Amino acid sequence: MAEDREWESTETAVAELHKKIKEAFEVFDHESNNTVDVREIGTIIRSLGCCPSEGELHDLIAEVEEEEPTGYIRLEKFLPVMTEVLLERRYRPIPEDVLLRAFEVLDPTKRGFLTKEELIKYMTEEGEPFSQEEMEEMLSAAIDSESNSIHYKDYITMMVVDDN
């Protein structure tokens, strides 16, 4: 019956998600004992295509952590939570045009770029501020050394392509 087929395909879809999540998890399971360091959970979740904010990430971690946090997250706890996240299509990635508009908000005079100082100021003082490491990392790829600025439209195009 049609309902059965639908149920079946959901089952398969879930099974597929499980495999996908397990795969992403195992890459960071350095001791091969179905645990990962909690500090890598963000990377794992994002590598599965989700874009939670830092706040949302903290909530997720709280969900998958042990009662008494050990610094490690077990696959058993991670799998069901992550499956829900993917099934519900939570934390969808930012579309390119939204990203572009965000840059444009920070560049109201529409110069087409932000200076290095401006970028640093916004990224480290507003929103969910970058750590120094994150800031340096972004600068190394984004800043055109000659003009000491970021031409955000080109930057976005380049990054989006590389990100597939």
Partner 1 sequence: MGCSDSSFIKDKKSPKVIKAATIIQNWYRGYSARLKARQRHALTVFQSIEYADEQSQMQLSNFFSFMLENYTDEREEDPELIARLFGCNLPDTREDYVKMIDVPDSYDGPRLQFPLTFTDIESLIEGFKQQKILHPHYVLAVLFEAKKVLMQMPNISHISTLLSKEITVCGDLHGKLDDLFLIFYKNGVPSNENPYVFNGDFVDRGKNSIEVLMILLASLLVYPNDLHLNRGNHEDFLMNLRYGFTKEIMQKYRVYGNEILKILEDVYTWLPIATIVDNDILIIHGGLSESTDLNLLHRIERNKMKSVLMPPIPSDGDSAIDLKITKVGSEKIKTSVSLSDQLLQHEWEQVITIFSASNYYEDGSNRGAYLRLSFNTLPKIFQYQVTKATHIRPLYQRVNTVEGSAIRMLKERIIARKTDLVHAFELYDRNKSGKLSLSQWAFSMESVLELNLPWRSLSTRLVLTDRDGNVDYMSSFQNIRIQKPVKEVHSTLIETLYRYRSDLHIIFNIIDTDHSGMISMEEFRTMWKLFKMHYGVPVDDSEVDELANKMDLNKDGSIDFNEFLKAFHVVHRFDPSRKSNKPVVQE
Binding site for partner 1 (CB under 8 A): 16, 19-20, 23-24, 26-28, 42-47, 50-51, 53-54, 93-94, 98-99, 101-103, 105-106, 108-109, 111, 115, 117-118, 121-123, 125-130, 134, 137-138, 140-141, 158-159, 161-164
Cβ atoms of 101 and 90 within 8 Å: the answer is: no
Minimum CB separation of residue 87 from partner 1 in Å reads: 16
Of residues 45 and 82, the one with the C-beta less far from partner 1: 45
For 86, counting Cβ atoms within 10 Å of its Cβ (0-12 exposed, 13-18 middle, 19+ buried), the class is buried
Of residues 66 and 141, the one with the C-beta less far from partner 1: 141
Minimum CB separation of residue 91 from partner 1 in Å reads: 9
Minimum CB separation of residue 67 from partner 1 in Å reads: 27
Distance CA 79, CA 85 (A): 10
Angle between helices 75-87 and 54-64 (to 10 degrees): 130
Tokens at 63, concatenated:
């969900």
- Return the SS3 of 154: helix
Minimum CB separation of residue 2 from partner 1 in Å reads: 20
